[in-house]
């Protein structure tokens, strides 16, 4: 266990019992199968992803030079869900996806922004330098992955959502490989790079935080839809490489407990996290190159939305300037959504069809950014650690 990473350990154990110990251990766990596959794939350089794609689409036998480590990874991928579970997953995914641009707002102001809370969790991406230098690329890439996942049937084997999720998992392994080999990674203080504990928290951000935020905005979900959405993310988590011991916790109650545990035990934001929160909101406000007044208005709204969705403490600790939009949005946004929801229910609008339309609209908007390749190759493997010098130990004084 990484003692220096875990704060308030006694209180965490009192509140959450076994889960606290499970989380503390998970910080020191990575993804051995993906790490071994990446070590074997690294010599193939730019050919590694086409090789993986071919193996996925045609079977490992169709790739004679595929390393055995890749075969082992593919053999370990989760089996297709039972038909009744698949149906629940599709309903849950459609119920969330129909929110369209509202779901996009949650991604930008909550699901991604909360990652900046924990300095140790942010270290791998900070080392790559990609967050500071290409913020809008990161947002567009994450949006593209989310969109592909939430297309009707997007998580089925053979679909781009499924393939892209595996691609994200392998990119995580490439980043881990670079961080470990840099000489700058402090495992005792930070745990493993992109470890199981932090990866699971990202799943919480995409599932529990998404549903809670959309409900705060005025959207309603049946108990069955919520159960289906957690099943959807349990399957996605398994594909992402979340270890089997953590998968049963992908449910509404335990994800809520995990949120409390992660916030309780992680250090509060440092200067890097604060800077990234500001950069992210400013980048989103500038999408589409709006006029200066419109950019200022959008930034005002995004800052308020962050307070609304993540709460006062998170906004203050990330030093996001408070705006009155934090008061105004609940008064305006929520009633508008509830009226829209009521009319949709009266008209008998099918949520699956609404989801398909919303996802298509999001995809067009994301494509307009012009920074995301078409298909499954939406996340780029870093070629080097741009910000390494900041973390590498200095030469001892003579």
pLDDT of residue 222: 95
Q: ∠ at Cα 40 (34, 45), nearest 5°?
A: 105
pLDDT of residue 231: 98
pLDDT of residue 341: 84
Query: Would residue 68 count as lying in a domain?
Result: yes
The tens digit of pLDDT for each residue in 40-99 reads: 999 988 789 989 999 999 999 999 999 999 999 999 999 999 999 999 999 999 999 999
- Low-confidence stretches of the chain (pLDDT beneath 70): 1-4, 129-134, 366-398
Phi, psi of 116 (to 5 degrees): -75, -5
Question: What CA–CA distances, in Å, run from 354 to 96, 345, 360, 361, 367?
Answer: 10, 12, 10, 11, 20
Query: Would residue 242 count as lying in a domain?
Result: yes
Q: How far apart are CA 54 and CA 398, in angstroms?
A: 54
Query: Would residue 398 count as lying in a domain?
Result: no
pLDDT of residue 372: 56
pLDDT of residue 134: 66
Query: Would residue 1 count as lying in a domain?
Result: no
Query: Would residue 214 count as lying in a domain?
Result: yes
How far, rounded to the nearest angstrom, does the alpha carbon of residue 224 sit from its chain's CA centroid? 23
Query: Would residue 396 count as lying in a domain?
Result: no
State the total domains in the chain: 1
Contacts (Cβ under 8 Å, ≥6 apart) of 335: 218
User: pTM, whole model, 2 decimals?
Assistant: 0.90
Query: Would residue 131 count as lying in a domain?
Result: yes
pLDDT of residue 165: 94
Q: ∠ at Cα 372 (76, 100), nearest 5°?
A: 85
Q: How far apart are CA 141 and CA 139, in angstroms?
A: 5
Range(s) of the domain holding residue 127? 15-387
pLDDT of residue 371: 54
Query: Would residue 60 count as lying in a domain?
Result: yes
């Amino acid at each position: 266990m990484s003692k220096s990473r875990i704060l308030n350990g006694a209180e965490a154990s009192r509140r959450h019992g076994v889960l606290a110990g499970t989380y503390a251990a998970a910080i020191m766990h990575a993804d051995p199968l993906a790490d071994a596959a990446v070590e074997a794939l690294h010599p193939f350089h730019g050919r590694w992803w086409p090789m993986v794609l071919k193996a996925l689409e045609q079977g490992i036998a169709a790739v004679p030079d595929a390393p055995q480590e890749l075969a082992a990874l593919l053999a370990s991928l989760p089996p297709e869900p039972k038909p009744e579970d698949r149906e629940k997953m599709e309903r849950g995914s459609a119920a969330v996806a129909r929110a369209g641009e509202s779901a996009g707002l949650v991604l930008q102001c909550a699901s991604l922004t909360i990652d900046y809370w924990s300095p140790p969790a942010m270290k791998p991406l900070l080392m790559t330098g990609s967050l500071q230098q290409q913020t809008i690329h990161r947002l567009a890439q994450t949006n593209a992955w989310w969109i592909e996942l939430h297309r009707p049937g997007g998580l089925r084997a053979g679909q781009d959502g499924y393939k892209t999720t595996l691609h994200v998992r392998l990119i995580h392994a490439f980043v881990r490989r670079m961080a470990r080999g840099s000489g700058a990674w402090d495992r005792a203080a930070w745990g493993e790079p992109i470890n199981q504990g932090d990866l699971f928290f990202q799943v919480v951000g995409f599932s529990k935080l998404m549903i809670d935020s959309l409900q705060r905005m005025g959207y309603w979900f049946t108990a069955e839809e919520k159960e289906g959405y957690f099943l959807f993310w349990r399957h996605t988590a398994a594909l992402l490489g979340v270890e089997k011991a953590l998968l049963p916790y992908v449910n509404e109650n335990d994800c809520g407990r995990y949120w409390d545990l992660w916030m309780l035990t992680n250090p509060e934001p440092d200067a890097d996290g604060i800077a990234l929160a500001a950069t992210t909101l400013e980048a989103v406000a500038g999408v589409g190159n709006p006029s200066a007044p419109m950019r200022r208005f959008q930034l005002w709204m995004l800052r308020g939305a962050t307070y609304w969705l993540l709460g006062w403490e998170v906004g203050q600790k990330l030093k996001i300037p408070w705006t009155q939009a934090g008061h105004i949005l609940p008064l305006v946004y929520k009633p508008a959504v509830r009226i829209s929801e009521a009319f949709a229910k009266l008209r008998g609008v099918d949520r699956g069809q609404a989801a398909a339309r919303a996802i298509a609209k999001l995809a067009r908007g994301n494509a307009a950014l012009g920074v995301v390749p078409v298909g499954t190759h939406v996340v780029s493997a870093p070629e080097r650690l741009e910000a390494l010098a900041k973390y590498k130990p200095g030469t001892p004084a003579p």
